[in-house]
Amino acid sequence: MQTIDDLIAGPGVAGKRVFVRADLNVPMSDGLITDDGRIRAVLPTIVKLVEADAKVIVASHLGRPKGEPDPKFSLLQAAERLAELLGKPVAFAQDTVGPAAHDAVNGLEPGQVAVIENLRFNAGETSKDDAERGEFADQLAALADLYVGDGFGAVHRKHASVYDLPARLPHAVGLLIGTEVGVLKRLTEDVERPYVVVLGGAKVSDKLAVIDNLLGKADRILVGGGMMFTFLAAQGHQVGTSLLQEDQIAVVKEYLARAEREGVEFVLPVDARVSATFPDLKTKAPVDDVEVVGVDAMPAGKMGLDVGPKTEELFAAKLADARTVFWNGPMGVFEHPAFADGTSAVAKGLLDSDAFTVVGGGDSAAAVRLLGFDETKFGHISTGGGASLEYLEGKTLPGLAALEK
């Protein structure tokens, strides 16, 4: 893949309109950004282009609008935060390919930046129809001279700005995607062992494909979060009112049997923090009935919302000798203080190990920041949970394939 450095050194970018497909899909609450990690992650690429006197057009999606403008999914807040981080004004266009976008781009001087509105406000961005997607890509291409792909969180999507647009412009990968791919190669091609994978999150179905692929690669797989209860049920445990995907129990049983045959150690929780009700994540109101129980003694009327302290100790021990760790998914409802200890313990376990540690994006990355850990102490914090998982599943990612051509 051609890199941004190749682009700058080769045809050059000075005075040229460079379309940067970023991932500004930041979490929002009441109209405010709650985690700007993805904006900061693309900043080095934007700064490099600005310093090379490019006219920088930043584009992204945010949320899941249904192919038409929706104010609650506007990129205005992201554009304003980008301006703060850059320390210079950033123009904002209130449409994607209409008059406002063209005016904003035409008004750029070398070294200036504009953000166009949410790409998913146009149905062509996510269309499954090649012609409709291609038409939108043509309209985007009219805004620019060059393309830089740096939205790693979207490269597993066959969308117009990710897959179709690079074919229409000279293109290169940005610094973020270059880093992300380099890290994923370290997890798949020449892994330093022991290689430990920590998986959490709500649904086991979201992780089945990656488990399937990792069974031939990882030495040890630790499972927590809501998905752990399907594993526990597969072992014959009662799980109370905990999240359970009964239709996946048979599949999980087969994975556990296969892991045993292939010598992969599956490590499941031995205890859990439970409550009769799901906590209020907005008010963070105290939960009065939290108790710690063994996984073989789950109360019928309570749900597991975090792994327990004995599991924290177990997982820490299983991480201690690791040389490579990939972590995707929290161990519990980390957004509430009563159920954050398990996720915090895993983060600390990564930091205490001598391993190359990769936090696989999504909720795991948000948890690291919310719980106050120094993110620079981890080997890498990915900006794309879904993209990372699909790469580890062995899938071809459309956005990367487009940049390789």
**Where is the binding site for (2R)-3-phosphoglycerate, in residues?**
38, 120, 157
Catalytic site includes residue 38: yes
Cis peptide leading into residue 299 (ω within 30°): no
Catalytic, 384? Answer no
Instruction: Choose, from 40, 203, 258, 369, the residue flagged as catalytic.
Output: 203
Q: How far is CA 156 from CA 10, 52, 393, in A?
A: 28, 29, 12
Write down the catalytic residue from 17, 38, 81, 273.
Answer: 38
* 386 belongs to the catalytic site: yes
Per the annotation, binding residues for ATP are: 207, 304, 335, 361-364
The catalytic position among 362, 384, 385, 399 is 362
Active site residue 362: yes
Q: Among residues 151, 360, 385, 386, which one is catalytic? A: 386
Task: Detail the residues annotated as belonging to a binding site for substrate.
Answer: 23-25, 38, 61-64, 120, 157
Binding site, by residue number, is 23-25, 38, 61-64, 120, 157, 207, 304, 335, 361-364
Active site residues: 38, 203, 362, 386
